[in-house]
Amino acid sequence: MLESSGSSARLHVVWPYPFPLRNLDAGIEYRFETLADGTFVLSWSGNARPRDSREGIRIDRVEGETRAVPFAPGSSRVTYSYRGDLGGKFPRYAEEKAWRAEPVEYFRALRRRLGIPDAPK
């Protein structure tokens, strides 16, 4: 963690990619809030600073949001949106693969953390 205060934290994040693509990294500020209707919002955006650690290719444009809206007793509707630029020069197929895998892996990580098994294939 680079720094934190109240409902935000700034992190140095590294996505390990194999040779020859190298690692991708970003300085990202995460913010969270709970709205009056009980909706929980976690949002993030790039916030790298010149003195931050650097590893591999820097992703300058990254932003997104996870929104958990109370839906029924004991459940929520979760939406996830993200935008970014992988930086560097990646083949189109590699970019497509990364963008398609991102939301799936994000929700798989949430399920693992909550102790919910993966959905059947």
Q: What are phi and psi of 103, to 5 degrees?
A: -65, -35
**pTM value surpassing 0.85:** no
**How high is the pLDDT of residue 1?**
63
**How high is the pLDDT of residue 34?**
97
Instruction: Tell me the pLDDT tens digit for each residue of 83-116.
Output: 877 666 777 887 788 778 888 888 888 889 989 9
Q: Which architecture, in CATH terms, is 3-87?
A: 2-Layer Sandwich (3.30)
Asked whether the predicted pLDDT for residue 48 surpasses 80, the reply is yes
Which one, of 69, 4, 1, lies nearest residue 37 by Cα?
69
Asked whether the predicted pLDDT for residue 51 surpasses 70, the reply is yes
With a CB cutoff of 8 Å and minimum separation 6, the contacts of 24 are: 14, 15, 17, 56, 57, 58, 59, 86, 87, 88
In degrees, rounded to 5, the angle at the alpha carbon of residue 72 between the alpha carbons of residues 69 and 76 is: 30
Instruction: Tell me the pLDDT tens digit for each residue of 27-40.
Output: 999 999 999 999 99
Instruction: Summarize the confidence of residues 46-55 as an average pLDDT.
Output: 88
Q: Where are the domains of the chain?
A: 3-87
Greater confidence (49 vs 23) lies with 49
State the amino acid at position 10 in one-letter form.
R
**How high is the pLDDT of residue 2?**
77
Confidence band, pLDDT 50/70/90 cuts, at residue 16: confident
Mean pLDDT of the chain: 86
β-partners of residue 84 are 62
Distance CA(78)–CA(82), nearest Å, equals 13
β-partners of residue 28 are 11, 46
Asked whether the predicted pLDDT for residue 22 surpasses 90, the reply is no
